[in-house]
Structure 1
């Protein structure tokens, strides 16, 4: 897979001289989010033709990106913006959509999209350790969140979650459990569930539902799949994709809007309020987000262009919102 090193220099130079994010507080005036205090790049290229969607950052300053094009996983040093493929994909029929890295920095949990696959890879060697096939018919394994005892995966085409149990050392079990969604959950005719996060108290899950009332958040009881709508006032999330929870602050990536809506949740994750919206001229349909230091990193999926082997892709960083 080729990379444009000339493009890397252009992007990093551009990041150094401009392209600041705008953070619009609720009812306030947009302000420029400063990035000058850090020397690390705020924009860096991904491989040409990569088609990124998910991002994961663990306890070290490296970001992992999954490829829709062929299922590769690409690791980037946040300090330099340079990277390489660390896990070879299985081809275009086996994409990687969402992904997460465990807290021990040993395992990558990969969402296989319409392949119906959940994969677990070794972080150090890139070797696929386990592959599970879930769902039936029209299934899309979209996003994943890790809890102390399980990895939870969303299915965008079916009203259900997939629970992969983890033992005390974080190793995955042999079987995946399907957990039907009920309660306030309503399934659209096609794409419905997207991003997933834990609640601030860690007792439940939060999901994006792209169908209910034009885009909503759902609080889900992991014991039985019962969903209750999160009360967020008049805020709509029609293009809600990846979720990132930092304390009680929830970042909701609104991909086609080229924006990130920022909410402050209560401790249980049952209600919240909008506190800011992040926009940035460098956004090109960002899909997911991960944090390091005081920054948020997002891949630009560029869903508005026809993907080709030489289509350029990149990732950008913006400052976190101070809650």
Structure 2
């Protein structure tokens, strides 16, 4: 998958949080170039704007998963949820490549001051929702918090089919979901990447097999596509599953594990190729509803630099192995 000069220039003309990744993964720039751009994420653009919103207690908007005072407020009756509290903001900063040193002391402040909205549990211990725990696991490993106990939670709560489901803890399901499983896998992979601890690798591989058996898109029982969300690409995807988001994980995992792409990814790869527009870009899907600090990417239906970058990176990885 070749990238035209015009398309590359368009993606490079972006916030540092995207630009450094384009430089590294598509433009082939030397490390001294993209590392210099990466350092800018914390001092300008979207990264700096989010960092500036951190409260003295280490939190954003005074809450762990939701802003303080959210429940019972008029906003709680609106569609979606706000994406401005601590967990979501840290997830963005981590995925944009902000060095943990920039947020020195945050792990300790959250340990002292932040509690989950569920049962007032301490922040770094997680709670009962697998997706929330996955975000917390990855972020804790990045910031240097002790999340070893939370890491053990994932194999203990892995379902018989190999995946995870946010509804399982309430006794509402014994079957895994695509969304929950991918979020768990990404959190576990981030934990291993930041800490070097491989104790979750077997559990992660078993969860990856859950998605691979279903070719990232289909029900095992009927062979039909699990839901329209598989081919609905949006950035930021927050917690939402898509074939592109799943492929992005499998690319990251293969680089860490030093393995090639699994052939069972072929259908998902074809879905990504099919979504490309004649101008070579991928267009923004319908953004998830809810208040946010600011718009990170373009409006629905517009050519998306973020989605185009993610799609091209995955396709180059796939094509290079062939």
TM exceeds 0.5? no
Higher-strand-fraction structure: 1
